Amino acid sequence: MTSATEKICRILSCLSDRRICKLTDIARFTDLDISSVLRILKDLEKLDFVEREPQTKEYTLGREIYAMHHAMVARQDIRALARPALVRMARKYGDSLILSIPSNWESVCVDTCLGDYPIRANYLEIGSRRPLGVGAGSLVLLAALSDAQQQMYLPCIHEQIDKRYPMFNQSMLKTQIALCRQQQYAVLCDVVVKQMGGIGVAIRAPDGTAIAALSLASLSERILSRQNSIADDLMQEARLIEKTHFPAR
């Protein structure tokens, strides 16, 4: 049975993706019935955790979430540290750079930088969520978890893969996790969008925990033809971010 607290957290997490703003979509993505979602949204709206646009009837995160976000950013902002790396890589390779962070069994896109190559991987926006393992940055975050942590999250991940990603499956995910651990970076092509792929590396805390992922997304052929160069540069940028973020490292 889902607790009231878990229902609230599901709804707030769902609203971090700007594309999920209609009542029916929120109910679908949270696996909750519409009446429960509507009741919770009304309570959250009273407390300024959620706002509702009267004309479109779309829901967005409210002022209290904004205040909480700024309190967290004032303490520690991985985006500010990683931004120069995103810009450098986008300029060098001309492709899309993505910064993601883990959130339970999902990854959340927190920053992007688009290159000048005309065909862009712009299917991820800030706030977009994916199951861990789906996408290069998301995969490297999953591979960095301990086996026990993975087993805790895999049932939810497998369920979402089976529902939403017909070009991917559980066996492929297992193989990709092992390969990612072996080579210390992730390469994933033709899984989320046909003929598109990415390379991702983890940004780690001193204890080895992956706190974020830096990834480059492009056409699969552009990824595979420059795989070694991209991976080396991403790892170099990740180490630089780590040294800046944890100066005593």
Report phi then psi at 39, rounded to 5.
-65, -45
pLDDT for position 18: 78
N-terminal to C-terminal alpha carbon distance within the chain: 43
* Residue 50 to residue 60: CA distance in whole angstroms: 6
pLDDT for position 207: 83
pLDDT for position 161: 95
pLDDT for position 65: 81
- Write out the CATH class of domain 76-245: alpha beta
Give CA separation, 116 vs 42, 96, 100, 179, in Å: 43, 9, 21, 31
In tens digits, what is the pLDDT along the chain, a chain of 249 residues?
A: 778 899 999 899 888 887 888 999 999 989 899 999 999 999 999 888 999 988 899 999 888 887 776 556 544 578 989 999 999 999 999 999 999 999 889 999 999 999 999 887 666 788 888 999 999 999 999 999 999 999 999 999 999 999 999 999 999 999 999 999 999 999 999 998 999 999 999 999 888 889 999 999 999 999 999 999 999 999 999 999 999 877 765
- Which CATH number does 4-71 carry? 1.10.10.10
pLDDT for position 67: 73
pLDDT for position 68: 73
Domain boundaries, the chain: 4-71, 76-245
